[in-house]
Amino acid sequence: MVKELIFSPDKIGNAEDIKSYLASKSHIDEDRMTILKYFIDARRKPDIKICYRVTDEEQEDPSIPVLIHKGKRFTETLRPVIIGFGPAGMFAGLILAKYGLKPLIIEKGKDVASRTRDVEIYKKEGVIDPSSNIQFGEGGAGTFSDGKLNTGVSSEYKGFIDSVFIKHGAPEDIMYDSHPHVGTDNLVNVVKGIREQIICLGGEVHFEEEVLSIDLDQNGHKLKGITTNRKSYPADKLILAIGNSSRDFIKKHVDVLGVTSKPFSIGVRIEHLRHDIDMAMYGFDTALYKNIFAANYKLAVDTPNGNKLYTFCMCPGGEVVPSASFENAICTNGMSYRSRGGDNSNAALLVPFDPSKYSDDPLYGMKYQDMLEMNAYKLAGSSSNAPYMIYGDLKNGTYGRFASKIIPTYKPGVVACDFKELLPTDIVETFKDGIMLMGRKIKGFDTDYAVLTAPETRSSSPVRIPRDKDSYESVFVKGIYPAGEGAGYAGGIMSSAIDGIKCANRLAESVLL
């Protein structure tokens, strides 16, 4: 039996134990009850409804649609290799390990504990480690975001991915929350737990090891191994889960892999007071309730100059973080902890950008990103601080006129700059008009005091590594399976993990007896 339960915020917002409370209201035994869905209906403010769907029906094992080759026999073969240990590489490795194929995983960055220390050094001292930062290392770029697991991709693999996260320390509500949120503080332990499970199943994970070359047969179209900064490994099956920011690898293998350019987006981070977003979305401050977290939003508008402006990676009660992957560059991203209790809420404000309109060079988009990030560094005084601007100044064409009550969260710090010196004029105009239009959808979104921090350039990969649509194998090199965001086939933790699972299953299928 499935039951729909609706509460006012005051009725459930501070309940001691959500599951016990729902069991008592639904008259279902707590041990037999499963929560299927949770969402907030804020369409008719101030009548806010907190909605749950529960059932006493037994739920299907989420691994059934994922482990499609479980119990089957595989040929004796070389160990499959995975390059990259972000969501795609991590879940590809887990699937192959569960099949008994003992994958070898090569990760350029450091383990998550060491990586966390390096990120904190960058925030406090402005000193970046190009191999260990918010972009590179165990868990990928998503480890230092929110751990948002919502995605527009439809897949029967989602339940399995959620269950793996929960097994290793993520909160159970990611299974049913309409805005599933692990939290950066939880993700650090989750990715470590997944790595340990892979190793227990016979896999290996090598950190601080960089792939220098993909070794091919004499015809140049079949994989025969890889060479790293430590040694050479024979291999005839390789999952390429290199991540969004693997610039050096892509540049080195652009011709071998037939890399093409693809559209991406560029923009800034916008910050408001969390209280103000809560009030606009819900009509109350979520800080009053322990079971109701800071409000989310998702916006998109078409602006008068023909550009689209949309929000991405919204971080309720979070902070803007430094996300460059090389020295003398500035790049922003957003994150929040599980509590989502910070003073500010932020989101990326992005404008689509198609590099093919400007050049036939497949790496033009990547080079353009690099140029913006290096120019931001120079504009902010050749320091590790980021350029920022108050929306009132951007809107009115002024500079330094508005003082904001919103304190920018970016660390190491920010420097007031004029975005016209950094971004194309049409993009600055898109921000000016688009934020105003977004203010018609969320009251106060277009406040003069909103803080804009630049640039946000790594929301998605600027390149794609072509692969066959059925086998997922590279169309240029037999034995290579391009996967995840860095290969141009995903755009977030969940979609990357899904793609990694699909590639692992295609690889496993190719070595079945």
For residue range 31-48, list pLDDT tens digits in order: 999 999 999 999 998 999
Q: What is the pLDDT of residue 213?
A: 95
319 and 218 in a common domain: no
- What secondary structure, in 3-state letters, does 215-232 show? EECCCCCEEEEEEECCCE
In this prediction, residue 148 carries a pLDDT of 76
Strands 260-261 and 264-273: what pairing? unpaired
Tokens of 310: 């949309």
Between CA 448 and CA 301 the distance in angstroms is: 19
Contact (Cβ atoms closer than 8 angstroms) between residue 277 and residue 286 = no
Is 3 in a helix, a strand, or coil? strand
Distance CA 486, CA 468 (A): 17
Number of domains in the chain: 3
Please give the pLDDT value at position 8.
97
260 DSSP β-pair partners: 464
3-class DSSP string for 247-280: HHHHHHHCCCCCCEECCEEEEEEEEEEHHHHHHH
487 and 408 fall within a common domain: no
Strands 238-240 and 480-482, how do they pair? parallel
Task: Please state whether beta strands 344-353 and 308-315 pair in parallel, antiparallel, or not at all (unpaired).
Answer: antiparallel
Q: pLDDT tens digits, residue range 237-280?
A: 999 999 988 999 999 999 999 999 999 999 999 999 999 999 99
Count Cα neighbours of 51 within 13 Å in the Cβ-side half-sphere.
Answer: 11
Residues 401 and 371 occupy one common structural domain: yes
Residues 28 and 89 in one domain: no
pLDDT value of residue 210: 95
Please tell me whether residues 112 and 252 are part of one structural domain.
Answer: yes
Strands 211-216 and 480-482: unpaired
The answer to whether the CB of 86 falls within 8 A of the CB of 142 is yes
Residue numbers of the chain with a pLDDT score lower than 50 = none
Determine the pLDDT at residue 209: 97
Residues 97 and 139 in one domain: yes
- Considering the domain architecture, whether residues 22 and 112 belong to the same structural domain is answered as no
In a domain, 150, yes or no: yes
Is 63 within a domain? Answer: no
| DSSP E strands, 108-250 | 204-206, 211-216, 223-228, 232-234, 238-240
Q: What is the largest CA-CA distance in the chain?
A: 71
CATH (domain of 134): 3.50.50.60
232's tokens: 């050479």
Q: Do 320 and 439 have their domain in common? A: yes
Q: Tell me which residue of 447, 460, 459 sits closest to 271, measured CA to CA.
A: 447
Residues 269 and 324 in one domain: yes
Backbone angle region of 327, left / alpha / beta, with phi > 0 → left and psi within -120 to 50 → alpha: beta
**Residue 76 included in any domain:** no
Single residue among 10, 37, 55 that ends a domain in this structure: 55
Whether omega before 462 lies within 30 degrees of 0, making that bond cis, reads: no
Which structural domain range is residue 161 located in?
81-259+465-510
pLDDT (0 to 100) of residue 67 = 98
Listed in sequence order, the residues at least 6 apart from 36 whose beta carbon sits closer than 8 Å to its beta carbon are 2, 53, 54, 55, 176
Is 276 among the domain residues?
yes
Domain assignment present for residue 62? The answer is no
The CA-atom distances, in angstroms, between 173 and each of 21, 338, 343, 453 are 15, 12, 23, 32
Q: Mention every residue, 6+ apart, whose C-beta is less than 8 A from residue 48.
A: 8, 9, 40, 41, 42, 282, 283, 284
Residue 74 lies inside a defined structural domain of this protein:
no
Of 212, 192, 167, nearest in space to 111 by CA: 192
For residue 235, being part of any structural domain is answered with: yes
Same domain, 322 and 404: yes
pLDDT score at 204: 98
Sequence-distant (6+) residues with CB within 8 A of 188 are 112, 113, 116, 139, 143
| Residue 452 shares a structural domain with residue 469 | no
Question: In this predicted structure, what is the pLDDT of residue 142?
Answer: 81
Q: Closest Cα to residue 39, out of 48, 50, 29?
A: 50
Quick one: 111 and 151 in the same domain?
yes
Assigned domain for 302 exists: yes
Q: Is residue 502 exposed (0-12), middle (13-18) or buried (19+ Cβ within 10 Å)?
A: buried
- Of 424, 421, 420, the C-alpha closest to 394 is 420
In terms of Cβ atoms closer than 10 Å to its own Cβ (0-12, 13-18, 19+), residue 353 is buried
